[in-house]
Chain A
């Protein structure tokens, strides 16, 4: 029975790792971006699915990971694992500071405050021109995986590196989903007052959840930098945060595979629309249409559902 449960994820992992061998360079590049953004959605999903905190501010931690990678690369440190460690630590620290305030809020207040933090991070990235390159953004070369070896050449090896990290992070987070912390978070989301009265330290648990989520989002930022070699303040703005939250909303109570798949659908819809649907270069317009459709989806479902009989 257990083996059958593992068959689907195992087949999926093989399929993910096979992409560069069966797809062309463009498709592999898009897949690498989807994996990086998918991990960002997973970070948002950790907070939206369990304690029901809908964050529109994860662009801040995503940007922290990406900018740390660029700064380290410019300083001569090209090692990918060091980028990951430094990026995740910075993201966790940033989330730790923000969560001092954010972990006290719920509902719309949380959405509002998280969005403020995220957009302020984008504003800081624009104004800190000497470090971040301002609104022009900053670039970095592909990572080095082992001291003494060269940078990764071509999108194929880069994709495999990104896929390996996303799979490793996915396995870690799957283990985390079965941990007591995750169960307490679900309890807080469903019945906070009861959890408080039983004696759970709600504030501390939510703070820890933010730190883990921030580190995950920053890891996504590092991988985004490795996938694209470029980050600009626009990449940590509202549209990125909205795609991540929309994917987390679509995935709802399903796991992280569904979250990454939802991100893939949203990114493909946006990018394919930009390339193939008129007018040219209007990706955000079609993303807007998609978000509207997503907002109306529950209403459409209810209209289709059978109604109670009336006498």
Chain B
């Protein structure tokens, strides 16, 4: 595998991670299968297009706007799913699917339902020399930013009080509530954080994977594959699964282009057969 292949695998893998980390956070901490995750990515792509993220100021503005947008959409999802917590995961999944269809149609109405082309902002639009090969600088920049996001997430979830509170509510919400933690706050906070990650991914990855028709479902598939492979709520597992899936995609596209999706299916089925207990135990 050449250096370009390794960089591609890392870029695709970290792209998967940034998108899937929000879903795995929501699923692992709240036990909610948020089917709106793909549409939230589209919202990020729309933001990048709307605020002209192909200029340096527009890019900074879009990244900044991603945070309040993510918090607003996440807050809405949390408000819709919180009253349904006593009615099982199916009611919550159907509600998020309803929100996803409504959001997807609103974005399609705003953009005319076409692809939203996106270019990197000028300093990152250059092509650089990577061990004798030409390689887009934006992808290397994306790898660096995604690595910082991964490290930051791990730090927040493992070493900060906020992470401990989220894990406490995920383990035993009633016990956590009896110590003074409000589960509804954690519910809203986790949804807002997970959704913000997906919107941010939509802005950052727009030049690599622009928003367009069908992208929401495609991203939902990728995110689900990562969650199934890595284990729900397991950020380190998600990172390992993302890099593995990125490597399979990068190699598959070059070596076996027609078989690349089949390889992912085989990966998922093998994971389900080899470690069903882990997946079942964490979500039962």
Binding site for B on A (CB under 8 A): 54, 56, 97-98, 100-102, 104-109, 111-113, 115-117, 119-120, 122-124, 127-128, 135, 234, 237-239, 242, 245-246, 249, 279, 282, 284-285, 287-292, 294-296, 298-299
Contacts and interface: CB of A to CB of B under 8 A. Distances in A.
A97 B272 CA distance: 12
B227 interface: yes
Contact of A292 (B98, B227, B276): B98
A146 to B, nearest CB: 38
Nearest to A121: B265
A296 B169 CA distance: 24
Interface in B165-181: none
Interface pairs A-B: 9 shortest CB-CB:
A101-B272, A288-B101, A291-B98, A292-B98, A104-B276, A295-B95, A285-B105, A288-B102, A109-B283
A120 B265 contact: yes
B89 A295 contact: no
From A102, A282, A295, name the one whose CB has the most chain B CB atoms within 10 angstroms.
Answer: A295
Interface in B63-113: 80, 83-84, 87, 89-95, 97-102, 104-106, 109
Contacts of A289: 98, 102
Main secondary structure of the interface of B (DSSP, over half): helix
B87 A298 contact: yes
B109 to A, nearest CB: 7
A282 B94 CA distance: 19
A120 B276 contact: no
Q: What is the size category of the interface that chain B forms with chain A?
A: 35 or more
Contact of B279 (A113, A239, A249): A113
B90 A288 contact: no
From A111, A288, A292, A294, name the one whose CB has the most chain B CB atoms within 10 angstroms.
Answer: A288
A119 B224 contact: yes
A196 B214 CA distance: 43
Contacts of A56: 93
11 contacts: A107-B283, A109-B280, A112-B33, A113-B268, A115-B33, A117-B269, A124-B261, A284-B101, A292-B98, A292-B99, A298-B87
A246 B94 contact: yes
A111 B89 contact: yes
Contact of A296 (B90, B95, B99, B109): B95
Contacts of A284: 101, 104-105
A107 B284 contact: yes
B131 interface: no
Interface string B158-200: 0000000000000000000000000000000000000000000
Contacts of B283: 107-109, 112
A285 B269 CA distance: 33
B262 interface: yes
A6 to B, nearest CB: 33
Contact of A122 (B101, B217, B224): B217
B225 A295 contact: no
Contacts of B232: 112
Given A288-B98, A291-B97, A100 B269 contact: yes
Contacts of A295: 84, 87, 91-92, 94-95, 98
A178 to B, nearest CB: 27
Interface string B260-284: 1110110011011100110110111
Contacts of A98: 269
From B92, B105, B264, name the one whose CB has the most chain A CB atoms within 10 angstroms.
Answer: B105
Given A54-B90, A112-B228, A122-B217, A288 B99 contact: yes
Nearest to A293: B98
A113 B228 contact: yes
B27 A104 contact: no
